[in-house]
Chains A and B, each alone.
Chain A
Amino acid sequence: MRKYVLFLTLLLLASCSGAKGPESAAPAQGQRLRFAVMPKALEIPVFNYAKIGAERQAKEYGNVDILWNAPVTADQLKQKELLESYITQRVDGIAISALNGDFLTETINKAVDAGIPVVTWDSDAPKSKRVAFYGVDDFASGRIMGEETGRLLNGKGKVAIITSYGATNLQRRLDGIKEGLGKFPGLEIVEVFDIKEDSVRCAELIATGTKRYPDLAAWLSTGGWPIFTRNATTAIDPAKTKMISFDTIQPGLDLLREGKVTVLIGQKYFGWGSEAVKLLYDLKHGKNPPATIIDSGVDVVTKENVEDYAAKWKKMESGG
């Protein structure tokens, strides 16, 4: 019996010892600010540029610490747990790319109610009380992708789409793509593949999908999985099938130069981090964002403008 009593006592101590009530979220004079910046998952390569952007902005301010963290893989529950832990830790601000906006809405609201400003970037939680969202207008960019595909294929042919169900931004891109493609009655969507945010699964799906639909005119992807690795697109014969994808990180640009990919839609990767930190910093200093939805715009990269784009990228990556 004694060991049960001991266990319960220590458990109680572990959970409640030294409890302090929450204090004001306003920064004291000269105090450093701790901003939690959270991508959807650490394994997704584009988010590393957001980290560079956030850290560069923090360095510029001089009194900001960035807590960069996320689940390793796209695990919504772990992202929610992490978000909740940042609330109990009383960080000074949270910038998050939501894996599932609806799932996080209640928790984001809890943070805002506790006096912690929350901004979203890349993937929004539109029903929540987040102060602002910075990222692309996903529906519009998806529509651009669909229309561009229609033009490239002269309005006819079979297309397959790669996406990952669950994330609000990807769903909106998918809806936009469908609307863009819908303007060309000769285009047929043969399948929408769910790759569950997994680049390895993406390579496998492209290979099996290409075998299953040998007359496919184009692959469209709402995320950058096909271009995150050089091998994902090897099953595609570029003379027969075009690849049009979101994201412009390497080796995507090389694949574009080699003709394996036809069009890439680039987002403001560095801006995800730097702009989100700016928004939080301004909020902590009483300055409200210019709008609730801040459209970052997109870069449409093709073989014609890839070198200009690569030069700009290099400058940003080195902190310029």
Chain B
Amino acid sequence: MKKIWQIREFSTVVILVLEILFFTWWLWPDGNRSHPFLNAGNGVLILKYSAIYGIAAVGAAIVIISGGIDLAPGAVIALAGVVAAQLYVVQGWALGSSMTVGVLVGLASGLLTAALVVIVKLPPFIATLGVMGITRGIAFIITEGQYFDVSSRLLGGWRPFGLPADWVAPIIMVTLAIVFQILMTAFQWGRAVFAVGGNETAALFSGIAVNRVKTSVYVISGVLAAVSGVVLVLVQGQGKADLATGYELDIIASSVVGGASLAGGRGSVIGAVLGTLIFGVLRNALPQIPGATFYDRLIVGLVVIVIVVVDQLLLKKRG
């Protein structure tokens, strides 16, 4: 049994808690004001927006662990949202069917990426760069620069099972993180993903169906990005082609901050989700500091580097 501080996710949790404690202290209110950062509403808000990245980061982390990279999640988020919203608002489809087709968009984009990587043998960077352009392009063709107002058909808001809409994305994120963490650590498929990422040739000689594993990780990444897109549309009320532009880099950065190695073979799904929360807290708290506006990107960049360097040092010490 590993000691708790030897678990990789433990250090990410410690960083997150230290970050929260720091902002709690820094933003301590004067007089009788309520705390602007440390309140339940703000906690839900951080989780709600982090979940858009976090759901997709689950898939992106699995791809990174397998030794690949996926640059398409931001564009797939937008396309899935646009397709679902178009079917629901313009074509008048039922909500469930529209959203299902939206998720299937992710399946299609994942299969396309997998075909380019496995059959055409393109490097994942190039294949997913192409898929990113194709999916974002289709989203723009569908919308022609306009947007589909889902909220106009969802009057009174979306309350699945009577839950507030704001809770839905975090619940989905946490559920997916737990399910895929178990799949990655306790099932043969997960171990095969680590093996392919660690040493593809060795994995092949040990009888692992490498192409099947690669196909599965890109399909999962596509589907989860699409789930994120559909949730985004339902929670935010609009399908629009330029939503989530550039989010792929934030998603990859979250996975790396959460312990994934871009060389493959190492990483964690829960670590990636914790990584999105670390960024979510920064995104939420930094704008509250007067005068910090033009410094926050610098701070985010420094945080990424410091966390990864500390992780490397700890890894050497553990090894």
Interface residues of A (CB under 8 A from B): 2-4, 6-8, 10-11, 13-23, 28, 31-32, 34, 42, 65-69, 72-73, 75-78, 80-82, 84-91, 100, 102-103, 106, 165-166, 194, 196
Structural contact, B243 and A10, CB atoms closer than 8 A: no
Give complex CA distance A34, B34 in Å: 13
A18 & B35 in contact (Cβ 8 Å cutoff): yes
Distance in angstroms from A99 CB to nearest chain B CB is 10
Provide the residues of chain A in CB contact with B32, threshold 8 Å: 23, 28
- CB of A194 within 8 A of CB of B13, answer no
A21 with B34: CB separation less than 8 A: yes
Contact A103 B43 (CB under 8 A): no
**Are B293 and A42 in contact, CB atoms less than 8 angstroms apart?**
yes
B174 touches A85 (CB 8 A): no
**B293 CB contact (under 8 Å) in A8, A68, A166:** A68
Q: A32-B30, A88-B45 are in contact. Are A7 and B9 (CB under 8 A)?
A: yes
B240 interface contact, C-beta 8 A: yes
| CB-CB under 8 A for A6 and B47, given A88-B42, A90-B36 | no
B31: chain A residues at CB < 8 Å are: 28, 31
Number of interface residues of B (CB under 8 A): 59
A81, B277: Cβ atoms closer than 8 Å: no
Stretch of B59-67, B89-97, B212-220, B281-289 that contacts chain A: B281-289
Known: A21-B34, A72-B297, A80-B236. A14 touches B43 (CB 8 A): yes
Q: Contacts of B42 on A, CB cut-off 8 Å?
A: 85, 88-89
Binary interface encoding of chain B residues 102-114 relative to chain A, with 1 for a CB under 8 A from any of its CBs, else 0: 0000000000000
Asked if A3 contacts B17 (CB within 8 A), the reply is: no
**Contact at A14–B290, with CB atoms within 8 Å?**
no
Stretch at the interface among B141-149, B193-201, B259-267, B308-316: B141-149
Q: A42-B294, A89-B42 are in contact. Are A76 and B16 (CB under 8 A)?
A: no
Interchain residue pairs A-B with the least CB separation, the first 9: A15-B43, A19-B40, A89-B36, A165-B145, A88-B42, A69-B287, A88-B41, A81-B49, A20-B34
User: In whole angstroms, how far apart are the Cα atoms of A87 and B288 in the complex?
Assistant: 11
**Which residues on the A side are within 8 Å of B146 (C-beta)?**
165
A17–B147 contact, CB under 8 A? no
Q: Which residues in window 213-261 of B have CB below 8 A to A? A: 232, 236-238, 240, 242-246
Residue contacts A-B, CB under 8 angstroms, 17 given:
A3-B4, A3-B10, A6-B13, A7-B13, A11-B174, A16-B40, A18-B35, A20-B35, A22-B34, A73-B246, A77-B52, A86-B287, A87-B41, A100-B238, A102-B238, A165-B146, A196-B242
A80, A86, A103, most chain B CB atoms within 10 A: A103
Contact present for B9 and A15 (CB under 8 Å)? no
Chain B residues closer than 8 Å to A90, beta-carbon distance: 33-34, 36
A110 to chain B, nearest CB (A): 10
**Given A7-B9, A77-B243, A166-B240: A14 touches B16 (CB 8 Å cut-off):** yes
For the complex, is B44 an interface residue (Cβ under 8 Å from A)? yes
Kindly supply a per-residue 1/0 record for chain B positions 57-101, scoring 1 wherever the CB is within 8 Å of any chain A CB and 0 otherwise. 000000000000000000000000000000000000000000000
Contact A67:B10 (CB < 8 A) given known A21-B34, A102-B149: no
Task: Give A10's nearest chain B residue, CB to CB.
Answer: B13
Query: Please, which residues of chain A bring their CB within 8 A of the CB of B17?
Result: 10, 13-14
* With contact pairs A14-B17, A100-B147 given, residues A22 and B41 touching in the complex (Cβ less than 8 Å): yes
**Told that A20-B39, A102-B147 touch, could you supply 6 new A-B pairs with CB distance under 8 A?**
A3-B10, A20-B35, A73-B246, A77-B244, A88-B39, A103-B147
The reply to whether B33 and A23 form a contact with Cβ atoms under 8 Å apart is yes
CA distance A89 to B30 in the complex (A): 13
- Interface residue? B46 (CB, 8 A): yes
A249 → B minimal CB distance (Å): 18
Q: Which of A84, A103, A196 contacts B45 (CB 8 A)?
A: A84
- List chain B residues, Cβ under 8 A from A11: 174, 277
Q: Find residues 4-29 in chain B having any chain A CB closer than 8 Å to their own CB.
A: 4, 7, 9-10, 13, 16-17, 20, 24
A7-B13, A22-B34 known; A67-B243 Cβ under 8 A: no
Considering the complex, give the chain A residue whose CB is closest to the CB of B152. A102
A172–chain B nearest beta-carbon distance, Å: 15
Residue B127 at the chain A interface, CB threshold 8 Å:
no
- Decide yes or no whether B183 CB sits under 8 A from chain A: no
